Chains A and B, each alone.
Chain A
């Protein structure tokens, strides 16, 4: 019963995203453009680029996921879908987690797939590319989950977009530290397992608690 509702919301959100491709693609192209700007600003020296690559790609992923976050609940808030979700017999956190999963599939997965290609531009080794992709695979869901709380809190608020960045970016810092740190640890021969394990340790509680917090925040916004 509730599993069906979960799948229905997931399918609906994915379908909506497919119908409005430009919104998804904007965030992805933003990521590509930001990654291309850094070599132009820093200089084409490959040794330097290799050093800054993990940080640059992670910050780019962070910022581009911020762009996508603003639209996470907005359309549903305006047309009343969220109110129906709040009233439905299916637990709201479950429906919200379907929305968050759809959001990650649409905005997070493209970043994970693109990162190794962009990493090539920064002359990262195959090993480092592998770690970067794995780190993003574990880290980007955390961005969607934690960012969702911020998106729910700033729903329909004056200056929501800027406010959302101010609220959410500080909370992203641990993910950034360990995500970019994983690539550096791999490059320096320490191995990235510890960093990736910590990313996983952030993902699991976030996956459990974030839908609950999002639902609470949405109920506050819907009052």
Chain B
């Protein structure tokens, strides 16, 4: 059996082509899943007997909150890879992920506020999960601010990798804070051990939306990393021989 040479794609030159072939596929998948998820969520799913129609924001709120944590973990993953193998591509991947993650964290806070107003009667409560999400948003901003303040790309990638790993300690705290502090926020609706407390249609709608956001992230990050590669490798000959770069 021939093993795949992963390090082949660690070279920005090789990854550039791969990412170019992959991102349109993920963009199509994201659109398809999002249309299906929105259709299930808004047309098929019944209204909740307690929360009425207002609960439907769950189809955006929950996937977006999941993604805001997943993206941070992905950043930590690439940071560990970058610091151990000293690959330039890892730093670029981390940087490409950060803006999307910050956007998800912001959307999670925003949709949470919109949901909280009709359900709890308030835009914001200082509940553990909300606060942790806010901290996560700050962590994204801190990462972006630090990496953009250092001009030397090697130093900025490595410094960013370190702060991403330090911040990743925060992500499990977010997840388990539901159990640590038992406050206003409703407990997790989806659980692997007990089965879900939601109607099946709602669950499917939510999972479809989660997959849609997942593919959206992958497509966007691949696209962004291509731009970063072009920017950083602009001195290299292979960049000047690309069709899209030739004048």
Contact = CB atoms under 8 A, between A and B. Distances in A.
A167 B142 contact: yes
Nearest to B142: A167
A174 B138 contact: no
B201 interface: no
B162 interface: yes
Interface stretch (A12-20, A91-99, A135-143, A157-165): A157-165
A85 to B, nearest CB: 18
Contacts of B142: 163, 166-167, 170
A170 B162 CA distance: 15
B116 interface: no
Given A166-B138, A170-B135, A213 B162 contact: yes
Given A157-B149, A157-B150, A159-B149, A167 B135 contact: no
A155 B116 CA distance: 41
Interface in A129-162: 149-150, 153-154, 157-160
Interface in A204-223: 213, 216-217, 220-221, 223
B240 interface: no
Interface string A25-63: 000000000000000000000000000000000000000
B162 A166 contact: no
Interface string B126-140: 000001000100110
Contacts of B167: 170-171
A220 B154 CA distance: 9
B159 interface: yes
Interface in A154-211: 154, 157-160, 163, 166-167, 169-171, 173-174
B28 interface: no
Interface residues of A, number: 22
A153 B138 contact: no
A160 B149 CA distance: 9
A18 to B, nearest CB: 32
Interface in B135-156: 135, 138-139, 141-142, 145-146, 149-150, 154-155
B163 interface: yes
A220 B160 CA distance: 10
A220 B146 contact: no
A217 B141 contact: no
A74 to B, nearest CB: 16
Nearest to A217: B162
Nearest to A170: B138
B75 to A, nearest CB: 15
Given A159-B149, A170-B135, A173-B135, A223 B162 contact: no
A158 B151 CA distance: 9
Nearest to A223: B155
A160 B159 CA distance: 13
Given A149-B163, A163-B149, 7 more contacts: A157-B146, A158-B150, A169-B138, A171-B166, A173-B131, A174-B173, A213-B166
9 shortest A-B CB distances, which residue pairs?
A170-B138, A167-B142, A220-B158, A170-B135, A153-B159, A166-B142, A157-B149, A158-B149, A220-B159
Interface of B: 131, 135, 138-139, 141-142, 145-146, 149-150, 154-155, 158-159, 162-163, 166-167, 170, 173
30 contacts: A149-B163, A150-B163, A153-B146, A153-B159, A153-B162, A154-B146, A154-B149, A157-B146, A157-B150, A158-B149, A158-B150, A160-B149, A163-B146, A163-B149, A166-B141, A167-B142, A167-B163, A169-B138, A170-B142, A170-B167, A170-B170, A171-B167, A171-B170, A174-B173, A213-B162, A213-B166, A220-B155, A220-B158, A220-B159, A221-B159
